[in-house]
Amino acid sequence: MIIDDLSAVPELFCEGVRGIILLHRNKDGEKGNAQRKAIKKISRNKQEWIEIIQEFKNLQQHSYSGHRIYSSVNSRNMEKAIHEFKRRQIDFDYGTEEERHWFYMDLQNRFFIG
């Protein structure tokens, strides 16, 4: 469902830290890992959430038709997210050189995993 009046969205669904993704799904024709190719942003409050959703809606209309907008249902617990990032960082630091490089070259996606 497309929401036209973003100010009517309850605070529960847009407050706090949230990941927002503009994604073309594999079952809609995307090849490879669709989430890795998605446009991703992080909002910290309702105003940022509204601005990002409006930006993504504009992108959908002009150059990303077929893409869908997804927002995390629950606000991200930043303490848990930081802890999980550090745990994975240590795991990759003791992995192969290729794994370690992949982890650090893909930092943008770390918030959206796990």
Domain span including residue 1: 1-75
Same domain? For 4 and 51 the reply is yes
What pLDDT shows up at residue 66?
85
Counted domains in the chain: 2
pTM over 0.85: no
Q: What is the average per-residue pLDDT within 68-77?
A: 89
> Is the predicted pLDDT of residue 69 greater than 60, yes or no?
yes
Average model confidence (pLDDT) for the chain? Answer: 84
pLDDT of 3 reads 66
DSSP the chain: ---S-GGGS-GGGTSSSEEEEEE--GGGT--S-HHHHSEEEEESSHHHHHHHHHHHHHHHHHT-TT-EEEE-SS---HHHHHHHHHHHHHHHHTS-HHHHHHHHHTGGGGGG--
37 shares its domain with 71: yes
